[in-house]
Structure 1
Amino acid sequence: MEFSAADFERLLMFEHARKASEAQYLNDPLDSENLVKWGGALLELSQFQTVAEAKQMLNDAISKLEEALTINPGKHQALWCLGNAYTSHAFLIQDFDEAKGHFDKAAEYFQKAENEDPGNELYLKSLDVAVRAPELHMQIHKQGFGQQTLGGGGGGGDPSASSNAGVVGANRLGDK
């Protein structure tokens, strides 16, 4: 897989964020903000992996984000990132019914994020995309793009500075 200079910089930045979050976790495992950063970094890094590696990294991201929610259940950034993680994971699954379950979870998390931060346009847009994503999934997998490696994308970390990972990943898959 080839990376642009910008992709390589993003990869380095999110790998640094992942390592910093991992170190911070050892000092303060109850820091929900750090867990969201860690989960977001893993979500971003998953976009640069093979499908199998991306699935594992997304599972790790989901674990960190769920841990953040056990500490702070109303943390809308964690809810939004979880929606992105489930959306991204769904696009990596060929079986439509299994993927649909992930899209449904994503929509639930986006709705919960919007409930915690009413009127947030990014959360509303993410919810809309999650509802339409199953159709896009069918198109992508019908064209045979579903098992290629991913290349750079967004979706983790700070919702104000990122895009929807699943949509970006799907668009990149469709471009190849």
Structure 2
Amino acid sequence: MDQLFKDLDRLCKTAEDTYADNPLDADNLTTWAGALVDLGRYQGTARKSGKMTKDAISKLEEALLVKPKKHDTICLLGKAHGFLALYTPDLDKATEYFVKATEYIQQAIDMEPENELYRESLRTVDLIHEVRYQFYGDGLGYPGIVAAGPSSSSGSKVMLETFGGLNS
């Protein structure tokens, strides 16, 4: 796991350097955002994970300003919203993120209907939605994911690991 963190961190730093040289590189912004979302999944608290995911969403939105029809960016934006919903304790806000996630991923599917990874992404977001409700219920209790420390968040880490990497 340490090697994964190092690789993702290195990827973020490389993307940041590339951005300094060429802020209009939509592929670089998408790669950077994907690394941020993956790193965010293992931060130990919903607050930290949510912050990294929001940073990723910002980069994806920036990439879409450069290339509005970049379907892989649109799909990743949907998946990022799905994970942001998982980190959001407020049920209404989480539902908004799930709706956005579904809309973005469906848009990517519409642009490239033969892409099975996009269809799988939609199924994953649906599963995250189901698990979030089963795990957290009405949003009043957020066991594990908001508690500090690795031992208290083990249940949420297992749940997040079940969904796999966003860039796979």
- TM-score, normalization: structure 1? 0.79
Q: Secondary structure at the match of 2:109?
A: helix
Instruction: Give 1:20 shift.
Output: 0.2
- CA shift, 1:132, in A, is 4.6
Cα distance in structure 1, aligned partners of 2:100 and 2:165: 16
Look up the equivalent residue of 1:124 and give its one-letter code. Answer: R
Tell me the CA shift for residue 147 of structure 1: 2.5
What is aligned with 1:144? Answer: 143
The yes-or-no answer on 1:94 pairing with 2:94 is no
Which whole-Å deviations, capped at 9, do the CAs of 1:39-91 have from their partners, x for residues lacking one? 01101110121221111111100000011111001111111111111111101
Residues 13-22 or 75-84, more deviating = 75-84
Q: Give yes or no for contact 2:78–2:103 (8 Å, CA) kept in 1.
A: yes
Q: Percent identity?
A: 36
Which residue pairs with 1:41 in the alignment? 35
Corresponding residue number in structure 2 for 1:112: 107
Partner of 1:62: 57
- Within a 5 Å distance, the mapping from 1:1-176 to structure 2 comes to 7-49=1-43, 50-142=45-137, 144-148=143-147, 149=153, 151=157, 153=161, 154-157=164-167, 162=168
3-state DSSP class of the match of 1:64? Answer: helix
Q: Does the CA-based 8 Å contact 2:16-2:32 persist in structure 1? A: yes
The 4+ residue runs of structure 1 with deviation greater than 2 A are: 128-135, 142-157
Native 8 Å contact 1:104 1:130 kept in 2: no
In 2, the alpha carbon distance for the partners of 1:106 and 1:32 equals 20
Which amino acid in the other structure matches residue 147 of structure 1?
Answer: V
1:145 shift after superposition: 4.1
How many angstroms apart in 2 are the aligned matches of 1:19 and 1:32?
A: 16
Paired with 1:47 and 1:130, the residues of 2 have a C-alpha distance of 14
What is the alpha-carbon root mean square deviation over aligned residues?
Answer: 1.9
Q: Which amino acid aligns with 2:52?
A: M
Q: Provide structure 2 residue ranges, at least 5 long, that are not aligned to the other structure.
A: 148-152
* 5+ residue gaps, structure 1: 1-6, 163-176
Bigger RCO of structures 1 and 2 (CA < 8 A, at least 6 apart): 1
Task: Please tell me the residue identity of whatever aligns with 2:105.
Answer: F
Provide the rounded CA distance (Å) in 1 between the counterparts of 2:128 and 2:10.
31
Aligned residue pairs total 152
Pairwise CA distance, 1:131: 3.5
